[in-house]
Amino acid sequence: MAQHPQITSPEQWSRDLAAQWVVAVDRMVVGEWNHPEAAPHPLAGKPLMTNTKCTYIATVRTFFFDCQRWGWIPVRFDPQRSIITPRSLKAQRGPNPRVIADDIWAKLMSAGLTLTQADLPLCLHQVLPKGHPAKAQRVLQPQPQPWYPFELVRAITLTWLFGGLRSDEIKRLRVGCVRWQAPDPSSVNSSTNNRPICLLEVPVNKTGRSFVKPVDSLMGEAINTWEQVRPNALDSWDTKTGESVQFLFIYRGKRIGNTYLNTTLIPMLCRKAGVPEKDARGPITSHRARSTIATQLYNAREPMSLFELQAWLGHHSPDSTQQYAKITPTKLTKAYRDAGYFDRNVRMIEVLLDQDAIQSGAAANGEPWKYYDLGHGYCTYDFFDQCPHRMACAKCSFYRPKTSSKGPLLEGKAYLQRMLQMIPLLEDERAAVEDTVGAMDALLHRLVDVPMPDGQRPIKSTSLSPLPVINQHRALSSEETKTD
């Protein structure tokens, strides 16, 4: 109505108007169309969330589709094609697990392992006085106490730090979910310390059936400790499976709250570790531990494969696992260096500078003063790096063989400076340097009719000689760095 006051009915909408509406929703901000007398929204002026924009577009698309299908308005455009969610919004709707930084996670891990009774948050238990009806005024106990026992809190803490479970899976763990297995004697080493293997039975989750996975023995020991002091409770109803089971984390006849991890446990660990409850990626929540553990297992010194990590996380599809297995910048940097991209395209060649020719003025008169070491001889062409025959010397007039009388004379000069010069390589030259016979033959065949720096043409391809080059990371010996 603000931009098109003449449009008063859905039947007046056209394809162009539908496209304009999609653009307007994409640029909409919070509180833009609120009532003037309504209280200001705390997020007023900020862009709408991606899911909100997609919901608005999908709702209007369905509205026009139903109106046309039921014959309420004439068909003037196709809502399925005109009111479509932009690709930019679809790309933002995918899962985006947020990994906790290694330094913050290490501090949270240390805080969880050193958790004590004094770290637990205290609360005042409310009880009804004796002889009063249920609606009587409640009184408070004088001494505040932790709401959950220490054994329960420690078991939940280590489960969150080591289990890599969803919050719903942690709440629905059952009594007896931990079992122990003797280690394989053939795989025992000093690092395992002959500790038994702890296996955790994960209940049915939103993507798959129940499964068993190995976890750290510290987590299993904490769960066994809680089971020993856990008070007896009646069976509870598992809404996901429809079974009557004994839940592990239950106290006073009730399971832990839905928000206990995010509102109580994690802030307690952050205070003990001295880290903020929010980082650059947002608040530290229970699900971020799952992504952090998966990322560390994927980037370990002996990492888990993608399919092994999929089985450990309990994902139905490897596509979901790829969202969690983030490659750290350290591992990516190492892989980039090992790929040798710079080495594949740049090589170094040794250059000899005749200081006598430079100081005496002979170089100004046209005498050679720069010698490129080709292995089998020297090239005195000043623009050697631009010569098309640089990787397969055609032995033109600039060529000085080492077997001639000039070679030993050059090596015996008193003022001879040795240097290295980088030579960028083309694709066929790089293949020839890597000692590929077919690539070398193709390079020689291509250079047969290419003129040499002195203007002549090579006599035949057999006269061409490959140029041996050294790796750029080769360190010069002490004799080479000194003036000869």
Of 422, 447, 240, 453, nearest to 349 by C-alpha is 422
Considering 80-94, 148-162, 317-331, the range whose residues carry the highest mean pLDDT is 148-162
**Mean confidence (pLDDT) of the chain:** 79
Contacts of 278 (CB under 8 A, 6+ apart): 284
Q: How far is the C-alpha of 134 from the C-alpha of 128, rounded, in Å?
A: 7
pLDDT digits (tens, 9 = 90+) for 180-211: 988 766 655 555 456 788 999 999 988 788 99
Yes or no: say if 146 and 264 are a contact pair by the CB < 8 Å rule: no
pLDDT digits (tens, 9 = 90+) for 386-398: 777 766 676 777 7
Task: Report, as an integer, the average pLDDT of 280-286.
Answer: 90
Output the pTM of the full model.
Answer: 0.63
Of 144, 158, 151, 364, nearest to 261 by C-alpha is 158
pLDDT digits (tens, 9 = 90+) for 98-152: 899 989 999 999 999 999 999 998 876 554 455 545 444 444 445 678 889 999 9
Q: How far is the C-alpha of 418 from the C-alpha of 372, rounded, in Å?
A: 10
Yes or no: say if 193 and 217 are a contact pair by the CB < 8 Å rule: no
Cα angle 378, 434, 377; round to 5? 10
Q: What pLDDT is recorded for position 318?
A: 87
**SS (HEC) of the chain:** CCCCCCCCCHHHCCHHHHHHHHHHHHCCECCCCCCCCCCCCCCCCCECCHHHHHHHHHHHHHHHHHHHHCCCCCCCCCHHHHCCCCHHHHHHCCCCCCCCCHHHHHHHHHHHHCCCHHHCCEECCEECCCCCCCCCCCEECCCCEECCCHHHHHHHHHHHHHCCCCHHHHHCCECCCEEEECCCHHHCCCCCCCCCEEEEEECCCCCCCCEEEEECHHHHHHHHHHHHHCCCCCCEEECCCCEEECECCEECCEECCCCHHHHHHHHHHHHHHCCCCEECCEECCHHHHHHHHHHHHHCCCCCCCHHHHHHHHCCCCHHHHHHHCCCCHHHHHHHHHHHCHHHHHEEEEEEEEEHHHHHHCCCCCCCCCEEEECCCEEECCCCHHHCCCCCEECCCCCEEECCCCHHHHHHCCCCEEEEEEEEECCHHHHHHHCCCHHHHHHHHHHCCCCCCCCCCCCCCHHHCEECCCECCCCCCCHHHHCCC
Yes or no: say if 410 and 416 are a contact pair by the CB < 8 Å rule: yes
Yes or no: say if 111 and 46 are a contact pair by the CB < 8 Å rule: no
Q: What is the CA radius of gyration of the chain?
A: 37
pLDDT digits (tens, 9 = 90+) for 295-350: 999 988 888 998 999 999 998 888 888 888 778 787 888 887 777 665 555 556 67
Residue 78 has pLDDT above 60, yes or no: yes
Of 436, 460, 435, nearest to 447 by C-alpha is 460
CA distances from 243 to 237, 240, 246, 296, 319 (A): 6, 8, 10, 35, 30
pLDDT digits (tens, 9 = 90+) for 429-438: 665 555 555 5
Yes or no: say if 324 and 291 are a contact pair by the CB < 8 Å rule: yes
Q: How far is the C-alpha of 231 from the C-alpha of 251, rounded, in Å?
A: 7
